[in-house]
Amino acid sequence: MPRLAVVLGCAAALMLASELSAQRPPTRTGFWYAFGLGHGWARVSCDICKADHRPGLSAHVRLGGGVSRSMLVGAEMAGWRTSASGVDQTLAALSAAAFWYPGRRSPLYLKGGVGLLTHRAEDGTDVITSTGLGPQLGIGYELRIARNLFLAPYFNVAYGSLAGGVKFNGAEILDQATVILAQLGVALTGH
């Protein structure tokens, strides 16, 4: 009996996979969303900053709409966190982005946008915050797991160096900083 269940299960999985692969590509119009989780690296550089790359947990949430079969636009919130040597570090990014699919049937997408990045480091006594506004770039590949649901490995980079600065315990000490976030992970996307 268990062998029959395995055979039937494999047959059902093959039929489902062939049915999903035979479906038309997503229209990419209307509302869409994505939730991503992965590994991230943050860096802050300024005249007094150490400027090292710190690995940590990274995540993002995206919401938007499709404007054509090959273009999505939306808003994104991304975050990163790590703790080392008694210092807790977090980075938050808020951005507007466009996602372009080069081919109608292509699961590959390229991301471009602009966002505000804010890094915070605190040791329980002192707090240093750094901010920057700048471009974002990314790439991803959507793998269909259901009719309108996809797993999407992705790589994103956000670079903020304009209109920023560094504050120590709330007081501005520098008017220039560069904040960078790189993310590598997997997202669940719905179209």
pLDDT tens digits, residue range 148-172? 899 999 999 999 988 778 888 887 7
Handedness of CA 28, 148, 158, 103 (dihedral sign): negative
CATH value at residue 65: 2.40.160.20
Quick one: pLDDT at residue 157? 95
Domain range enclosing 104: 2-190
**Cα gap 113→94, rounded to integer Å:** 10
Give the C-alpha separation, 74 to 43, whole Å: 25
- The answer, as to whether pTM is greater than 0.85, is no
In the predicted structure, residue 4 carries a pLDDT above the cut 70: no
Q: What is the pLDDT of residue 74?
A: 95
Number of domains in the chain: 1
Q: State pLDDT tens for residues 43-92.
A: 887 777 666 667 899 999 999 998 888 899 999 999 999 988 888 999 99
Strands 149-160 and 127-141: antiparallel
Give percent of the chain above pLDDT 90.
47
- Model pLDDT, residue 27: 57
pLDDT tens figures, 111-127: 999 999 998 989 888 88
